[in-house]
A and B are shown apart, each in its own frame.
Chain A
Amino acid sequence: MTKVNQNVSRRSFMQLSGGAAAASALIGLPTIARGAGKDVVIVGGGPAGATAARYLRMIDPSVKVTLIEANATYHTCFMSNEVIGDLRTMESISTTYDGLKSAGVNVVQDMVTSIDTKAKKVMTKGGNTYSYERCIVAPGIDFKYELTDGYDAKTAETITHAWKAGPQTATLAKQVKAMDDGGVVCIVAPPNPFRCPPGPYERASLIANYMKKHKPKSKVIIFDSKDKFSKQGLFTQAWKKFYGFGTDNAMIEWMPAAKLGKINAIHAKDMVVETDFEQLKAAVINFIPAQKAGKIAFAAGLTDKSGWCPVKKLTFESSMVPNVHVLGDASIATKMPKSGYSANSQGKWVAQAVVALLNGKQPGVPSFVNTCYSRAADDWAFSVAAVYKLNMEKNLIGGVKGAGGLSPMDASAEDRKREVAYGHSWYNNIKKDIWG
C-alpha cells in the first residue's frame, strides 16, 4: 500500500521531471500557482458532488478539486423510470466524467473507504490518500436491507430495487418486457424519508403506460409502507384517467400500510411479497427498501441516530465533524426533499460557501430551488416546485411562503403535455449543468 499525499507527489513530480515535455503538459494548470491550503476533496460524483466540483472550479480556479467516484459512468436515476417504461434507452441516462475533467477537476476512479477527519485525509480502496482543507461528502443513499427477511444486495440483482440507476434499471426494464400478458408487477414503496418521494408512483405509472400498449391484461400493484404519498392527488387523477384506477379493470392498484401492516419478507424463489395481512405472488417484484445515508457517511462518523447526516444549515458543514460538508441525499436538509435538483442546488451553494471559507470570507446568504417533474402517461406530466431560503433563527431551510407548490389539479391537458416537454428540458439542462 503506497500512501502518498497528492500534494507532495505533485510537487516532487515537478521537481523530478524538469524536462520540457513534462513541463509543457502542465502549462496552464492553475494548480501549479495555487496557494497552499486550497485543496478540496469530494467524495461521490452524483448530482451533489459533481455540481460542487464544477462550480468550485468556475468560481475560484485557484482551488484544487479532486473528485473521487467509484464508477467510470454515472446513470441518472432521474428519467430512469422512462427507461423502465420503454420510453428511452439506458444510453440516454448515462454520463461520463469527461466534462468535469475538462473543467479542471482531478477525477479519480476509486472507492473511498475511510476519512480521517482529524488528520484531514481521505483514504481509498486503491491505497491512496488525499489531503484536504475542506472535504465534501456526497455519497447518496444506502439501503436498510436488514429490515426485510429474504432481501439483500445479492437478491437485489434479480428482485431489483433499481433505486440506484444502472444495471438494475436495465434488468427491471427487461423483466417488465419479458413478462406474459396478465402478469402482476409489484412495486414495494419505502417508508419516509427516501430518495425521490414521487419516484415509486411515477414508476408505477410508466409501467402501466407500457402495459396499456403491449400487455393490457397486466397490472401494477403498489405495496406501500405509508398511508399517503407525494403528489397523491395528481397521481390518483392521472391513474383514473388513464389506467382505470379504482375500477374492476384497474391497471394500477395501491395498497396503503393500513391495509398491509408491515412488509416482512420477500420469498425470492416463489416470487411472493409477504406482509402482516397480505401475501402477493407477482411476475415481477420491484422492492424499494428503506434508506439511509451512503456507507462512507457512517464510516466517517457523519451520521446521527436517524441514519442521515445532520449539517449546519448555512454551509452544510457537518454538525458532527469540522471541515467536512455533507450534501445531497445523505444530508438532512430539513424541508428540501432528497432529489437531484436539490442536490444540484445545494452543490452550487456549497461551492460558493466553501470558496468563501477557503478565502477567509463570510459565506453570505443562500437561496435554493427544487423542482420535480413526474410523468404519468405519454402526454401527461406534473410538477412540484419550491424556492428555499434559510431561516437562521429556526435553523431550517424552508420554502418561501406563497411560492412553489404543485401543478394545479385543474390544469388543461395541453399544460400536462407541455410539462412532459419541460420535464425533458429540465433533464437535458440540469445534466449539462452538473456534468458539463
Chain B
Amino acid sequence: MLRIKSIPAALAVGVLAIFTSINTASAEMASVQTLASPCAGCHGVNGVSVGPATPSIAGLTEAYFLDSMATYKSGKRKGTIMSRIAKGYTDEETKAMAKLFASMKFGRTTQMSDAGLAAKGKELHAEFCDSCHEQDGRKADGIGVLGGQIAAYLDYTIADFYSGVRTMEKRKAQKMNAFKAEHGADGIKAVVQFYASQK
C-alpha cells in the first residue's frame, strides 16, 4: 500500500509556461490559458513543436502573430488548416493569445541536419536573408522565427513565397528572387538546413 515510494522526488518539473500566469476567470471570455492550451495538440507543449512539420509558435512577436491570425482569418494567407482554426476566435481572444505566446520562449527541437549544407546555408543566409532575418534568423521582430523553426514548415513556406501562394513585400521579393536565380533549389536546401541545425 505504500505506493508513495513509487513517486519520484523530483517534482519541480512540469510547470507549464502557459499556466504560470494566473488563470483569470471571467464571466464573458475564456481565460487566455483556456484559449491557448488546445493549440498544443498541433503546435506542441508550450507552443514548441517536435515536428516533423507543424511550426513552433512560442516566441513569435505579437505583431507577427496578430498579422498571421488576421490574414489566415481573411483568407489572404493560405494554409492547410489555420484559416479554419483562426476563424474560431474573436479579435479580443486572438490579442490575448498573441500576448501570451509572445511572452513564451521559442524552444528549439533538435532536428536532423547536414553540417556541410548548413555551413553553406549560413553564408547564403548572411548574404541574402540576414538584413531582415537578423541574428541567424533567430530574431522574430515582425517576421517569424527561422533559426530553429521546423524544417518542413520552412520548406513549405519558402515554396509558397515562390509560387505566390503567400505574398511578399517588394524588397523581400527582390532578395528572394535574386537568391533563387543565383543558387536555385540547392541554395534553398542549404539555408533551410542552416535554420534546422540551430539549437
Known: A13-B2, A352-B33. 5 other contacts (CB 8 A): A2-B1, A4-B1, A364-B30, A365-B29, A421-B53
Closest chain A CB from B155 CB (angstroms): 10
Q: Is A415 within 8 A of B14, CB to CB?
A: no
B150 nearest CB neighbor, chain A only: A425
Provide the B24-55 mask, 1 if CB < 8 A to any CB of A, else 0: 01111111011101111111110001111110
CA distance A59 to B50 in the complex (A): 23
Q: Is A58 within 8 A of B81, CB to CB?
A: no
- Give residues of chain A (13-39) contacting chain B, Cβ–Cβ below 8 Å: 13, 24-31
Q: Is B5 within 8 A of A383, CB to CB?
A: no
Q: Is A368 within 8 A of B26, CB to CB?
A: no
A100 nearest CB neighbor, chain B only: B14
CA distance A415 to B78 in the complex (A): 10
Contact with A428, one of B1, B29, B38, B51 (Cβ below 8 angstroms)? B51
Interface residues of B, dominant DSSP: loop
**Beyond A101-B7, A363-B25, A403-B88, is A368–B49 a contact (Cβ under 8 Å)?**
no
Q: Is B38 within 8 A of A369, CB to CB?
A: yes
For residue A385, which residues in chain B have a CB less than 8 angstroms away from its CB?
81, 84-85
Provide the A385-424 mask, 1 if CB < 8 A to any CB of B, else 0: 1110100000000011011110100010011001101101
Q: Is B41 within 8 A of A433, CB to CB?
A: yes
**Beyond A10-B4, A363-B25, A424-B52, is A433–B40 a contact (Cβ under 8 Å)?**
yes
CA distance A347 to B21 in the complex (A): 20
Decide yes or no whether B156 CB sits under 8 A from chain A.
yes
Contact with A429, one of B19, B33, B49 (Cβ below 8 angstroms)? B49
Provide the A95-129 mask, 1 if CB < 8 A to any CB of B, else 0: 00000011110111000000000000000000010
For residue B93, which residues in chain A have a CB less than 8 angstroms away from its CB?
367
Q: Is B16 within 8 A of A422, CB to CB?
A: no
A436 nearest CB neighbor, chain B only: B14
A-B contacts, 6 listed (Cβ < 8 Å): A29-B4, A57-B14, A58-B19, A59-B19, A108-B3, A418-B80
For residue B14, which residues in chain A have a CB less than 8 angstroms away from its CB?
54, 57-58, 102-104, 436
B43 nearest CB neighbor, chain A only: A429
For residue A405, which residues in chain B have a CB less than 8 angstroms away from its CB?
84
**Beyond A108-B3, A369-B39, is A429–B44 a contact (Cβ under 8 Å)?**
yes
Q: Is B44 within 8 A of A432, CB to CB?
A: yes
Contact with B42, one of A6, A57, A102, A429 (Cβ below 8 angstroms)? A429
Contact with B81, one of A107, A407, A421 (Cβ below 8 angstroms)? A407
Decide yes or no whether A341 CB sits under 8 A from chain B.
yes
Q: Is B80 within 8 A of A433, CB to CB?
A: no
Decide yes or no whether A61 CB sits under 8 A from chain B.
yes
Q: Is A419 within 8 A of B10, CB to CB?
A: no
Q: Is A61 within 8 A of B84, CB to CB?
A: no
Decide yes or no whether B181 CB sits under 8 A from chain A.
no
For residue A433, which residues in chain B have a CB less than 8 angstroms away from its CB?
40-41, 44-45
For residue A28, which residues in chain B have a CB less than 8 angstroms away from its CB?
9-12
A-side interface size class:
35 or more
CA distance A106 to B51 in the complex (A): 30
- Give residues of chain B (141-195) contacting chain A, Cβ–Cβ below 8 Å: 150, 152, 156, 159
CA distance A419 to B40 in the complex (A): 17
CA distance A102 to B11 in the complex (A): 7
Decide yes or no whether A134 CB sits under 8 A from chain B.
no
A27 nearest CB neighbor, chain B only: B9
Closest chain A CB from B111 CB (angstroms): 12
Closest chain B CB from A418 CB (angstroms): 5
CA distance A361 to B25 in the complex (A): 9
CA distance A58 to B12 in the complex (A): 10
Q: Is A364 within 8 A of B44, CB to CB?
A: no
Contact with A364, one of B34, B80, B152 (Cβ below 8 angstroms)? B34
Closest chain A CB from B37 CB (angstroms): 5
For residue B53, which residues in chain A have a CB less than 8 angstroms away from its CB?
418, 421-422, 424-425
Q: Is A422 within 8 A of B19, CB to CB?
A: no
8 smallest CB-CB distances across A and B, nearest first, come from: A387-B88, A364-B25, A403-B88, A369-B38, A421-B53, A425-B54, A403-B87, A103-B14
Decide yes or no whether A235 CB sits under 8 A from chain B.
no
For residue A386, which residues in chain B have a CB less than 8 angstroms away from its CB?
88
For residue A367, which residues in chain B have a CB less than 8 angstroms away from its CB?
30, 34-35, 38, 93
